[in-house]
Amino acid sequence: MNDEYSEIPCPRCGAYTRIDRIFCLRCRHRVIPLTPYDIVVDDFIYPSDRDGIESIKDLEPLPQLVKHFFIEKKLNLLRSQLVRESIKVKSLSSLDSIIRKCGIMLGLKVLPESFIISSDIPQAFTFGTDEEPMLVISSSMLEIMDEEELEAVIAHELGHVKSGHLVYHTLAELLVQGASFSFSLMGLNMITEPIRLLLLAWHRDSEISADRASILVTNDLDVIKSMFSKLIKQSERGFERVEILNSISELFKTHPTYLNRIKKLEEFYNSVEFKNARKKIEKRIMLLRAISPICRFCGAKKPLLSVFCPSCGRSQI
Ligand SMILES: [Zn+2]
Ligand SMILES: [Zn+2]
Ligand SMILES: [Zn+2]
């Protein structure tokens, strides 16, 4: 059945990719365009997260400066460090298939460049920019999670990518570390305490949106609960902070926050908003079968995304 899939050139890098892969095997950008059936941020974003992002946008040019002067520089350093010290996730490996599946379900524009670091601490985080996201996952995370839980972890991370959180996360994390000094070196004396508090509060709210992305993909609260409880068990073993990369890593928070996150997830899971977004995802998955440049019945050429063949009129799904 898979042999029927044709290959098309990536609009960005020109490499040929089988259409059912959706994302280019070389540059990870979409080869199949987004459609009205793909999930958009408004389908799942937590309202306080959306409001927070609006307020942070008012801080421009600060976020742009952080992006250009910090993230883009750090991204190259981090990439060379990861290339030296970690394993790049191979295209079409089982982990890549989970990342790809989550990327398809969440309608990403580009899949993150993904790496596995060797670490006893189960962690996963995203870093970078909307155009160039990066996902790092630790070896122990892969060891302790089963496939469904891993999907929940990755969908959470890709939820951050989809929501456009990456640059703002870094901005918030820099402020937590008391980066005011380097900001003043950059000529930015605009970081006041209220701004700091705004960013910190927003950071917590952004987690709720990422959890929502996770439940949209897994569609199973128990999977997310067991994923959380494994992380809590590990964190009780006494680690606090992570060695390399600690400034940009995200640790799942412990009990009270965890319970709050579950409560928020349950509310979302039982909402009309969730049901509508899930319907959209299911429809999208069904329509994926129609993606082909030729009709599966008569072999005539058809527009890539159209469900009905213009020659024989038959539905492709
Ligand atoms: Zn490409
Ligand atoms: Zn997160
Ligand atoms: Zn036909």
User: Residue ranges per domain, the chain?
Assistant: 35-288
Distance 206 CA to ligand 1 centre (A): 30
Give me the DSSP letters along 93-129: SHHHHHHHHHHHHTT-SBPPEEEEE--SS--EEEEE-
Question: Residue 2 has what pLDDT?
Answer: 41
| Number of H-type helices and E-type strands within the chain | 12, 6
Distance 221 CA to ligand 2 centre (A): 17
Distance 22 CA to ligand 1 centre (A): 11
| pTM, entire model | 0.88
Question: Residue 178 has what pLDDT?
Answer: 59
Longest CA–CA span in the chain (Å) reads: 68
Distance 30 CA to ligand 1 centre (A): 8
Distance 124 CA to ligand 2 centre (A): 9
SS3 of the chain: helix, strand, coil, percent, to 5: 55, 10, 35
Q: Taking residues 109-138, report their average pLDDT.
A: 93
In the numeric block, which tokens belong to residue 314? 């038959």
How far, in Å, CA of 198 to CA of 140, rounded? 33
Distance 246 CA to ligand 2 centre (A): 14
Q: Identify the nearest ligand to the CA of 292 by its number.
A: 3
* CA-closest candidate to residue 97, choices 154, 59, 56, 42: 154
**Cβ < 5 A residues, ion ligand 3:** 295, 297-298, 300, 309, 311-312
pLDDT for residue 111 is more than 90: yes
3 state SS of 6: coil
Which is more confidently placed, 271 or 262? 271
Q: Euclidean distance between the first and final Cα of the chain, in Å?
A: 14
- Residue 254, CA distances (Å) to 54, 137, 251 in order: 28, 19, 9
Distance 199 CA to ligand 1 centre (A): 35
How far, in Å, CA of 234 to CA of 236, rounded? 5
pLDDT for residue 74 is more than 50: yes
* 8 Å CB contact between 183 and 151: no
| Model pLDDT for residues 263-279, shown as the tens digit of each residue | 999 999 999 999 999 99
Distance 54 CA to ligand 2 centre (A): 19
Q: Identify the nearest ligand to the CA of 301 by its number.
A: 3
Distance 18 CA to ligand 1 centre (A): 12
pLDDT for residue 195 is more than 70: yes
How far, in Å, CA of 74 to CA of 128, rounded? 9
Distance 17 CA to ligand 2 centre (A): 30
Residue 289 pLDDT class (50, 70, 90 cuts): confident
Residues 6+ apart with CB under 8 A from 285: 104, 105
- In terms of DSSP bridges, do strands 16-18 and 7-9 run parallel, antiparallel, or are they unpaired? antiparallel
